[in-house]
Amino acid sequence: MIEASESIAARLAAHDGVQRLPTPKAELFQRRGFADHALCAELIALIDAGRRPSTIADDNGDAYFRTSETCDLEAGLPAVERIEAMIAQLSGLDPAYGEPLQGQRYAQGQEFKPHTDYFTPGGRDFAQFCTLSGNRTWTFMIYLNEVDAGGATRFKVLDKTFQPETGKLLCWNNRLADGSVNPATLHHGMKVRKGVKYVITKWYREKPWRG
């Protein structure tokens, strides 16, 4: 496993087609065409078969904060194994540190308001979600389709918005160089105005994943 954040960032940047956002505020990368259309279609079918209403930790009382649907993708399925292996090869991160792959579906009008992927230290649910495996470190998110209108991912602090493109990977480090969480990774899964958006997300932890 590659432990140091700078080593992970350097490995990502060394891959053909990987672009790093030119900002000192966060380590954030994109890779267009990371997953092919056939694999994306397989993953969409799995999400449709197993989707359920999304939930959120550290609930802020806003019933409309996250209105998407979620699917926990089974590790033994061929499409899941393939995309997991692709992410591990790209990042160099030990799969043992990764949470199970998750899919999300956003219908027209659905969104995930500005949030961070890490659990806020000292937050109400921090101990529940971080005692065994530690906090989240890296996020890998892949758009599985294009959306007729809306559905972009906006990083307000970084002044950058990414549009859904089939197979495009976004990945970022949720931490700063000293290991503390990075508030600049705040991002908004913007409202789908027309169509349906599908993504998959892989999160990594500070320690091996223990559920």
Closest CA to 132 of 150, 119, 145: 119
Between CA 34 and CA 24, with CA 20 as vertex, the angle to 5 degrees is: 150
> How much is the pLDDT for 57?
57
Residue 122 in tokens: 């000292």
| Fold entry, domain 5-205 | Jelly Rolls (2.60.120)
Amino acid identity of residue 84, one-letter, is E
Helix axis angle for 5-14 and 78-91, nearest 10°, is 110
Q: What's the predicted TM-score (pTM) here?
A: 0.92
Residue 15 DSSP SS3: coil
The segments of the chain whose pLDDT lies below 50 read 1-2
> How much is the pLDDT for 157?
97
What is the rounded distance in angstroms from the CA atom of residue 162 to the CA atom of residue 116?
16
